[in-house]
Every structure is written in C-alpha cells, then in structure tokens.
Amino acid sequence: MQKLLFSVLILFLITSAQAQSVEGHGDAHAYEQAIGLRGGFGGGITYKQQLGSEANYGEAILNFWDRLLTVRALYERTQTTNVDGLRWYYGGGPVLGIGSEFNVGLGGVVGIEFTFFDIPINASLDISPTVYLFQSEDERNNFDWQVGGFSLRYILR
C-alpha cells in the first residue's frame, strides 16, 4: 500500500507540473469551503473550511474502515508552490474511533492538494500518522502510520 500511495503522489506531482505553468503560485486558487469523498485506508467524507487567512484551514473527516467510524478534526496550514493551484499542507488534531473498538488519539497530517482552474474541484493526497492515547483493551499498538488517503472535493465557495 505504501508503494501505491507513493506512486500516486509522484504521478500527481508530475501531471500537475506538466499541466500548469510555473509562473504563478499555489494561492492563486484558494477556496473557502469544500466538501467531498475520501478514499485510501477506508472510505469517507471530508469537509474543509478556511479559517481566517488563505493559509489556514480546518478539516473534518468521517472515515469508515473495518467496522470502525473514525472522526478527525484537523487544523491545517498550507504552503504555496511555484505551480498554480498546487499547495502542500501540514497540521494535526484529535482523532476519535468508535465501533468494534474505541480509540482516542492525536493525528498529524502532511499532504499536497491541487485546485483546478476551470472547474470547482480540489484534489488532495495525504498521510496522517496517529498516536493513540486511549484504546480498547484488545489493542496493543499505540502508533498507526498507515492512515491517509485521497480526497476529491467540490468547492462550495
């Protein structure tokens, strides 16, 4: 799965760089709100909201995987690139897992996103390692680095 995520990331960067001019910067297509679907380690829904400036976002992710509903509330800080529409981001926040087991933790996130010019679509690819502070009794691993995914969002505004 690691090789697949890495391959998709590289393909996404190459395609984005070839499709766009390098004269602008990543904030050229900042958005305020976007909602969409998420795939990768499970499937789910993502909602992203700008917080104050064009560089700060809050993201809520509802993820379904292996009889577990995971809720992530992330604060993300974006950074520009020299490719129009392409930005990278990092951040973190609380994680809650409910289902056949119960988990509470803190998750980090690092990823890239691309906002298309002519259509209100945003796509992102990220990895979100998590440290669990509390888990149900049958869980023994307090760190999970196999969390991340691909999001495709419709820009509301």
pLDDT tens string 85-127: 999 999 999 999 998 888 899 999 999 999 998 899 999 999 9
Please give the tally of structural domains in the chain: 1
- Supply the CATH number for residue 81's domain: 2.40.160
pTM for this entry: 0.77
Q: Determine the pLDDT at residue 142.
A: 83
Residue 152's pLDDT is what?
97
Cβ burial, residue 95 (10 Å; 0-12/13-18/19+): buried
pLDDT given at position 66: 79
Q: How far apart are CA 82 and CA 26, in angstroms?
A: 7
pLDDT at 138: 61
Q: What is the pLDDT of residue 140?
A: 62
Q: Which residues of the chain have pLDDT under 50?
A: 1-28
Query: 10 Å Cβ neighbour count for 24?
Result: 16
Residue for token pair 């560089």: 55
Domain that holds residue 68: 2-155
Alpha carbons 41 and 64: distance in angstroms, whole number: 9
